[in-house]
Structure 1
Amino acid sequence: MTNVTQDRLSHGLWAQTAIPSPAMQSLENDSRVDVAVIGAGYTGLSAALYLASTGRDVAVLEANEPGFGGSGRNVGLVNAGLWMKPKDVIGALGNIHGQRILTMLGEGPQLVFDLVRHYGLDCEATPTGTLHCAPDKAGLKELQDREKQWQALGAPVRLLNAEETRRQTGSKLYRGALLDERAGIIQPLSYARGLASIAQLAGATLYGDAAVTNAVRENGFWRLQTSKATVTAKWLLVATNAYTVSPWSAIREELIHLPYFNIATRPLSDAEVAEIMPDRQGCWDTKEVLTSFRLDKGNRLIIGSVGALGQPCERQVHEAWARRSLTSIYPQLQNIRFESAWYGMIGMTSDSVPRLHRLGDQAIAVSGYNGRGISPGTVFGRCLARYICGEISDGDMPLPFTALETPLFRRERELMYSLGSTLVHAVGARISHNYH
């Protein structure tokens, strides 16, 4: 089993500061369960927690360890809703599903923070909101539109002016910022490991080093083959998203991989912290190739953007960009030392809306969080668990079940995101394509 701490570019700071991962069992013998959950990320663990709490016999099959995929690599922003504006969500999904998913995901951060409080999870949860920052006139206009649309739905979202934004971010760079009081930040890998621990306590069995190599429907049950043993289950939930591999490679092929990296500084001094982010909100901007930044519990400043760090040339370009960007936001930190860097893949869909799929009788999957996995993953995990339990039906779901489809020019678009972000960061320009 791969230990996330062995690869410094996969989980970086989060692996260094996360709570210990719970011990996982080794799948040595054939077993039979009510529900088999594939993937120990936010979705799978949230589903397992709910299913086990209702008395179902649940097995979580994970190829590595909890939070190995995007759940342990992301920025740690617990956002409400999708990237899209509310009107665009309704335009894409129709009024019924659009309103339903806006409500469900709008309440998502509250579910996350309620779980943290109820179970006492140690994951640096800070529910003080997030700030969507506008560095220019066009960005400010976009935020004004977002404010209007969210306020029409009664959401606690308001636009801060330039002076208020300066006080909240400690930076003079922005013309305004949209404060979403529903949201906040979290240590993402600790949250995943915390979910794993409480799912185990609820009765779920978590298996590590248990990659599924084949899945066959036989006599009303799913027979899942791993390298060592088989698991037979009445229900199957595939929750592997951007890190999906065979035998469900069609899910991976439906998603467009968008690389995203984070770079963390040394811990800031008390004097340095006093000048920036007094309420410790997570921030990102309105640029097409966006910049995100936040503090962790240890007062490290984490800055991120689109791009991979797999090749030395990529790391050099993106680290140089991070230095320039951090200096533009906080000139006083221009010479600060970077301590760690890491990256992962975001699963994007062609229309920025997640997907629900049937993979056969009593087999379902969800994927495509488009860079917002913490809250939606937790919410969808619980929702799909309730569906499996028969508590809700097709007509109650936030999304319709759709057929798997491979988007046009998927590989070309993935290459464009990777190379394009490197080019943008190398020359300081912006690409015209909006990757949202």
Structure 2
Amino acid sequence: MKEACLWQDTSPEPMPDLPDLEGPQASDVIVVGGGITGLSTALHLAEAGTAVTLIEAGEIPSGGSGRNVGLVNAGLWIPPDDICEALGEADGERANAILGAAPAKVFALIEHHGIACQATRSGTLHLAHNGQGERELARRAEQLQRRGAPVDLVEDEACWGMLGTRRIRRALHDHRAGTLNPVAYTRGLARAAIAAGALLYARSPALGVAREGDGWRVATPRGSVTASRLVLATNAYSEEEWNQVRQHFFPGHFFQVASPPLSDALAGDILPQRQGAWDTRMVLSSMRRDAEGRLILGSLGRGDGRPASYVRCWADRIQRHYFPQLGRVDWECTWTGRIAFTPDHTLRLFEPAPGILAATGYNGRGITTGTVVGQGFARYLTHGDDALLPLPIRSPKPIPAKPLWSSCYEGGFTLYHTGQCLRVLI
């Protein structure tokens, strides 16, 4: 089992051939970060006729935009009523509406720009792993249906037919959602942004940001860009001391394991409609099939740096619990991505300084949230209108005790996975 991201190896969209940034340049807007948020911002700005320059520290993509599960999910991590409780009624319902419609925005971009990212639109499945989970899904379903969302609970034979396992008797089917190859989607956004006139540079990490007249100057190892406005789209990969985004989230991780391609004769009854799924466990397990039939399992926590035997043991335990019909699986590869968490599980959109926009705290919903935030940022920068953003621009306080939050989360994930490997938990 090699440590490598499956999506990189199987992307139908090629890696864009981008230059390094060299010498001084000027633009209307600088975007730092070549993930989904940054590329969506650059694409929509360029389509509006705004000169935009995007710089990425590595290749596109190199962060969480290419290392996630590839679920095109609607909404936030928490149920709609909880969102309203956390954000207030007006802001909560605004977030529910805009993020509930976000999968349609993603699929519209894919179709309009011809992005080859193996997209499916058969929905996603939230799986109740026990009685408490069934009650939680019933609560979510009621809240979503009350808001007109096309979701339904599938049970017993119908549920088993969609999943290929009898371990789950109830699931919440969200028809708005789907799956894709996240590396291919991100590269497709880059291709579309370049075609629209955006300037993209790779291998050009931002070394610092400084005031330059009425605007901002971003320095890279071999060049610089000046502009009147700046977008920090670094999210969970904000590490530098100068980057104020790092004060507004605490990092967590999500690891995945992929099998070799499985024949339909062997695994055709497992997620036959290619929905992505995840369960209601305290430390969830995710599962999906890719375009070539691989089974991909994942969970919260780090897989990188751990012994392969540990990761394999966990994957074997989950696979044999849900899909014993596969027998022994020789896992092909494993990879880990980073998530920007917030204590209330809601995102943050803010201005660290006049002329700078920033976003973070997607809490594992990066594909859809990053896409609509990028579109909203572009509208805000060109028209001064924040109506397309899921939340108004705020001035949140930094998150206190960030290392403690991260340590508690990762420690809890590790203990839970160890319990699964030892067959104490499942």
TM score, norm. by length of structure 2: 0.95
Matched, 1:284 2:278: yes
Matched, 1:408 2:400: yes
Residue identity matched to 1:281: Q
Instruction: Provide, for residues 22-54 of structure 1, a one-character-per-residue CA deviation record: whole Å limited to 9, x for no partner.
Output: 111221121110010010111000010000011
- How big is the shift at 1:94? 1.4
**Aligned-partner Cα distance in 1 for 2:411–2:394:** 31
Contact residue 27 and residue 228 of structure 1 kept, 8 A = yes
Contact residue 212 and residue 226 of structure 2 kept, 8 A = no
- How big is the shift at 1:252? 1.8
Contact residue 154 and residue 173 of structure 2 kept, 8 A = yes
Gap change, CA 1:429 and 1:91, over 3 Å in 2: farther
Matched, 1:341 2:334: yes
Residue identity matched to 2:348: R
Contact residue 224 and residue 232 of structure 1 kept, 8 A = yes
**Aligned-partner Cα distance in 2 for 1:411–1:79:** 28
Contact residue 323 and residue 334 of structure 1 kept, 8 A = no
**Aligned-partner Cα distance in 2 for 1:381–1:373:** 11
2:98 counterpart residue number: 104
Contact residue 215 and residue 247 of structure 1 kept, 8 A = no
Contact residue 131 and residue 177 of structure 1 kept, 8 A = yes
1:50 counterpart residue number: 44
Residue identity matched to 1:427: G
2:267 counterpart residue number: 273
2:127 counterpart residue number: 133
SS in 2 for 1:278: coil
**Aligned-partner Cα distance in 2 for 1:228–1:188:** 30
- How big is the shift at 1:429? 8.8
SS in 2 for 1:63: coil
What are the ranges of 5 or more consecutive residues in structure 2 without an aligned counterpart? none
Q: Which stretch shows the higher mean deviation, 182-191 or 25-34?
A: 25-34
**Aligned-partner Cα distance in 2 for 1:364–1:76:** 26
Matched, 1:192 2:152: no
Identify which of 414, 417, 423 aligns with 1:422: 414
Residue identity matched to 1:354: L
**Which residues of 2 match residues 254-273 of structure 1 at below 5 A?**
254-273=248-267
Identify which of 294, 317, 322 aligns with 2:315: 322
**Aligned-partner Cα distance in 2 for 1:86–1:346:** 21
1:385 counterpart residue number: 378
SS in 2 for 1:302: strand
Residue identity matched to 1:135: H
Gap change, CA 1:384 and 1:54, over 3 Å in 2: same
- How big is the shift at 1:202? 0.5
Contact residue 372 and residue 389 of structure 2 kept, 8 A = no
**Aligned-partner Cα distance in 2 for 1:372–1:17:** 22
Residue identity matched to 1:183: A
Gap change, CA 1:189 and 1:250, over 3 Å in 2: same
**Aligned-partner Cα distance in 2 for 1:217–1:265:** 50
Contact residue 121 and residue 177 of structure 2 kept, 8 A = yes
Contact residue 98 and residue 388 of structure 2 kept, 8 A = no
Instruction: Provide, for residues 233-283 of structure 1, a one-character-per-residue CA deviation record: whole Å limited to 9, x for no partner.
Output: 111011010001325433223212111100000110121232211211000
1:34 counterpart residue number: 28
**Aligned-partner Cα distance in 2 for 1:31–1:404:** 32
Contact residue 109 and residue 182 of structure 1 kept, 8 A = yes
SS in 1 for 2:144: helix
Identify which of 175, 178, 190 aligns with 2:172: 178
**Aligned-partner Cα distance in 2 for 1:407–1:391:** 28
SS in 2 for 1:66: coil
Contact residue 317 and residue 421 of structure 2 kept, 8 A = no
SS in 2 for 1:30: strand
Instruction: Provide, for residues 57-97 of structure 1, a one-character-per-residue CA deviation record: whole Å limited to 9, x for no partner.
Output: 11001000222111010000000000111001111111221
**Aligned-partner Cα distance in 1 for 2:411–2:87:** 32
2:68 counterpart residue number: 74
Q: CA RMSD in A?
A: 1.6
Matched, 1:295 2:276: no
Contact residue 83 and residue 352 of structure 1 kept, 8 A = yes
**Aligned-partner Cα distance in 2 for 1:419–1:184:** 31
Residue identity matched to 1:14: W
- Aligned positions, number: 420
**Aligned-partner Cα distance in 2 for 1:428–1:230:** 50
Residue identity matched to 1:226: T
Contact residue 317 and residue 422 of structure 1 kept, 8 A = no
SS in 2 for 1:236: strand
Identify which of 325, 346, 350 aligns with 1:353: 346
Alignment identity in percent? Answer: 41
- How big is the shift at 1:409? 3.0
Contact residue 256 and residue 414 of structure 1 kept, 8 A = yes
**Aligned-partner Cα distance in 2 for 1:219–1:253:** 26
Instruction: Provide, for residues 310-329 of structure 1, a one-character-per-residue CA deviation record: whole Å limited to 9, x for no partner.
Output: 3234x432321111111111
Instruction: Provide, for residues 89-129 of structure 1, a one-character-per-residue CA deviation record: whole Å limited to 9, x for no partner.
Output: 11111122111111110110001111111111110100110
- How big is the shift at 1:397? 4.5
2:6 counterpart residue number: 13
Gap change, CA 1:201 and 1:352, over 3 Å in 2: same
Q: Which stretch shows the higher mean deviation, 410-419 or 200-209?
A: 410-419
Contact residue 317 and residue 425 of structure 1 kept, 8 A = no
Contact residue 255 and residue 347 of structure 1 kept, 8 A = yes
1:222 counterpart residue number: 216
**Aligned-partner Cα distance in 2 for 1:244–1:266:** 34
